[in-house]
């Protein structure tokens, strides 16, 4: 059975590798896990002592070895649910990351909503179609919609 800790580690690894989490956030998470765990794993302890992002990613990936990647990727979306505005160039980068997830063969159906946002935002920024802030608002609405539908949907 996949633990919540494994899925959280996977989500943190994704966020850290894409620049949406800091090393200090990851270390704080590891410290919290250690305090609440009677027998913390060596990977958690090593993660807590990480001095750089590559070391932290290595330990997070070891902890997340059995995680459900798509649960973690969907949980990653929660980082953006409270945002009403996102700078267009930041949205473009995030849209590119989500596009690459959406086109994977094993991508769940709810991720297909992210296939077109990268192009839409990029074209708006280049002045070819629409206003960037409208494209970003649509993108954020899709992020919220996917995160909420999965978080409130039926549980298996």
C-alpha Rg value of the chain to the nearest Å: 17
Residue 154 pLDDT class (50, 70, 90 cuts) = very low
End-to-end CA distance of the chain: 13
| Same domain assignment for residues 58 and 103 | no
**Which residue has 């690894």 as its token pair?**
13
What does the pLDDT read at residue 71?
A: 93
Instruction: Specify whether 48 is located in the same domain as 107.
Output: no
Residue range 82-122, pLDDT digits in tens:
999 999 999 999 999 999 999 999 999 999 999 999 999 99
Same domain, 8 and 43: yes
Instruction: Identify the burial level of 13 via C-beta atoms within 10 angstroms of its C-beta, where 0-12 means exposed, 13-18 middle and 19 or more buried.
Output: buried
Domain-located, residue 89: yes
Asked if 62 and 12 touch (Cβ cutoff 8 Å), the reply is no
For 50-83, write each residue's pLDDT tens digit. 999 999 999 999 999 999 999 999 999 999 999 9
Residue 17 domain-assigned (yes or no): yes
Structural domain contains residue 52 = yes
Residues 59 and 12 in one domain: yes
Residue 32 lies in a domain: yes
Distances (CA, A) of 153 to 10, 145, 146, 150: 21, 11, 10, 5
68 occurs within a structural domain: no
Assess if residue 76 is contained within a domain: no
Classify residue 69: in a domain, yes or no. no
Q: Is residue 75 part of a domain?
A: no
Say if residue 90 is in the same domain as residue 143: yes
Which domain does 54 fall in, by range? 4-63
How many domains does the chain contain in total? 2
Mean pLDDT within 135-156 = 79
Give Cα separations from 69 to 44, 72, 74, 75 (angstroms): 19, 5, 9, 10
């Amino acid at each position: 059975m996949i633990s919540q800790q494994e899925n959280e580690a996977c989500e943190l690894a994704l966020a850290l590798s894409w620049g949406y989490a800091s090393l200090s956030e990851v270390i704080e998470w590891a410290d919290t896990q250690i305090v609440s765990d009677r027998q913390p794993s060596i990977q958690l302890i090593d993660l807590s002592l990480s001095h750089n992002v590559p070391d932290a990613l290595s330990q997070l990936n070891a902890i997340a070895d059995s995680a459900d990647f798509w649960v973690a990727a969907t949980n990653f979306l929660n980082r953006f649910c409270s945002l009403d505005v996102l700078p267009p160039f930041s949205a473009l980068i995030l849209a590119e990351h989500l596009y690459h997830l959406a086109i994977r063969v094993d991508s769940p159906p709810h991720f297909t909503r992210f296939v077109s946002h990268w192009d839409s935002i990029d074209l708006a920024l280049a002045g070819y179609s629409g206003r960037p802030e409208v494209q970003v608002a649509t993108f954020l609405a899709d992020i919220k919609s996917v995160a909420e539908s999965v978080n409130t949907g039926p549980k298996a």
